[in-house]
Amino acid sequence: MLENIDFSKSVDFLKGEIIVIDKPLTWTSFNVVNKVRNIICRKLQLKKMKVGHAGTLDPLATGVLVLASGKYTKLIEQIQAGEKVYDAVVCLGATTPSYDLETKIDQIFEYQHITLEMINEAVDKLRGVIMQSPPKYSALKIEGKHAYDLARKGKEVILEKREIILSDIIIQKIELPYIHLQISCSKGTYIRSVAHDIGLNLNNGAYLYSLRRIKVGDFSVENAFTLEEFEKKLISAEIISDTHH
């Protein structure tokens, strides 16, 4: 079983380590990879080092971002295939073009009439295997261009629906207009689209207010390092830095 880096043992970034980071808000996944790579290269006095991530988190999301170094970058697809678990807060009564707070609210709806039964029914429709429309503001490519670039320029964006699995959606708390959910899902799921679809199922509007990824496969946020913790641990760690293997 793959495990998060253990600083109590000798660490070998070239042979391969898994590094689970608790991604900070507003950082892109690419920013985190760059930062971790720079920290490692500085410590080992290397010019370059292979580091990749297993599954993007949007800048406005926090939580588990699994990174792999050295030869372990070959395991990224295997890690990405693991089930993801998110804590999500959905806001009813409004929509945004990006389905989250990256873009401004473009429509407002009355939501005071929405009952717990209606919310349960709207969520029930999304459980299991479904065909999901990805958000127009996504990194998916259309003829070589990112969908979000086209959307920002006001161009028409048509993305094909994809089959995903929402194995569980637990309603944890309702404080209208906010619904707190825990969502377990397959690779390729857009939680922003889940939020949007809840709005559609209620004949209303909804967008993703906040998102935290708490699990990717066996990797959990409880065992994740903040970037500061990772850097601090690395300073005192025993590193194997033989560059010839």
- Evaluate whether 18-81+218-236 and 84-216 have a shared fold: yes
Mean pLDDT of 28-41: 96
Show the beta-strand stretches assigned E in 186-224: 206-216, 219-220
Cα separation, 57 vs 20, in Å, equals 13
Q: For the whole model, what pTM was predicted? A: 0.94
Mean pLDDT of 103-119: 97
How large a percentage of the chain has pLDDT more than 90? Answer: 83
- Decide if 58 is catalytic: yes
Instruction: Indicate the domain borders of the chain.
Output: 18-81+218-236, 84-216
Tens digits of residue pLDDT in 61-93: 999 999 999 999 999 999 999 999 999 999 999
The CATH code of domain 84-216 reads: 3.30.2350.10
Mean pLDDT of 198-210: 98
User: How far is CA 84 from each of CA 12, 151, 214, rounded to the nearest angstrom?
Assistant: 27, 27, 8
Q: Of residues 12, 58, 100, 197, which has the active-site annotation?
A: 58
CB 85 within 8 A of CB 191: no
Report the topology of domain 18-81+218-236: Pseudouridine synthase (3.30.2350)
